[in-house]
Amino acid sequence: MKIGIPKEIKTKEYRVGIIPSGVRVLVESGHEVYIEKDAGEKSGFSNNDYKEAGATILQSPKELYDTCEMILKVKEPQHREYDLLKAGQILFTYLHLAPHRELTEILKEKKVTAIAYETIQEGTRVPLLEPMSQIAGKMAPMVAGYFLSAHTNGMGVLIGGTSGVLPAKVLIIGSGTVARNAAKIASGMGADVIVMGRNPNSMREIEALLPENVSTLYSNRYNIEKILPTVDIVIGAVYNTGEKAPHLITREMLSLCKKGAVLVDVAIDQGGCIETSRPTTHDDPVFEVGGVIHYCVANMPGDYPVTSTHALANATLPYVKKIADMGWQTASLQDSAVYGGVNVAGGFVTEEAVAKAHQMEYRELKSIMDNCPGFGGTA
């Protein structure tokens, strides 16, 4: 299979979809790998690193999209990439389609086979989301602590306090991978941390593994409303596979927050779990609503590309190889995780949560496979 890795063009997105060791694995398996010029530069990889691993360097995204059967990315296609997509082409990347109707319509119209990292699921795990969730979780208290400073219009509270002065209080909504990593870092910085979740097993695990300045509380509206007036930082860490994030903090509830408090909505890729959230960028990361600071950068790990590219590429490679070796249809029939990753195929939405979010027709993937290009075998 001809596999192409374009340079990411989302604002301040420095990650790349593959590392040289992954190129070598694919080339040794008989595949052709094409990399857009300078795609890996910010992640620490030169064009020569990729060439030595067996890749071909292409000068433009158009040349790459025209050449390749599978496009391997990090973030969802941006507007100027829409016209480059081709019918039957495999797009393997983070898609987060539930809050993105226009992109969903484009993928349907183009009859792209769109496979989303975030809906590939192994049992209860989402293995391609986990490494970036770990990084975003670890980043969240760091960025919140920075924007809590007075010169950014924050409260002027130091997250870890100091001798004779109480530390900041941090509320984390969710008890999954983002929440655990956020709690680990926030507690290590000396904050008083409350993790609110609904999974008793996750909360027991957090209590067992993290220090005594981390406590847990069952998540419901009543408890959130009681806690909000007391906290300095809120980290939204909610994810339901493929679904649009629920608004656990409403616009009305925002009035309960302290002026100058910082809200970090890590769920913004799925639409955000705070009603007043909207996507921001690393160039312009925060905005205020009612005197409350919102940080809603939709590609947080992109700011640490050397770490995050390695973590992501190591996780995705086995799936990339399986799809390339077998073709996407055979791979999806043999591996339920790959099957669950297919969000759009043959002009239809095949991820029920996405169809529900946009009130679009949902088709079970197996029912349309016979009408899609490249059924069975390798491509």
Which residues are catalytically annotated? 96, 269
Q: Which residues contact 231 (CB under 8 A, 6 or more apart)?
A: 169, 170, 171, 194, 257, 258, 261
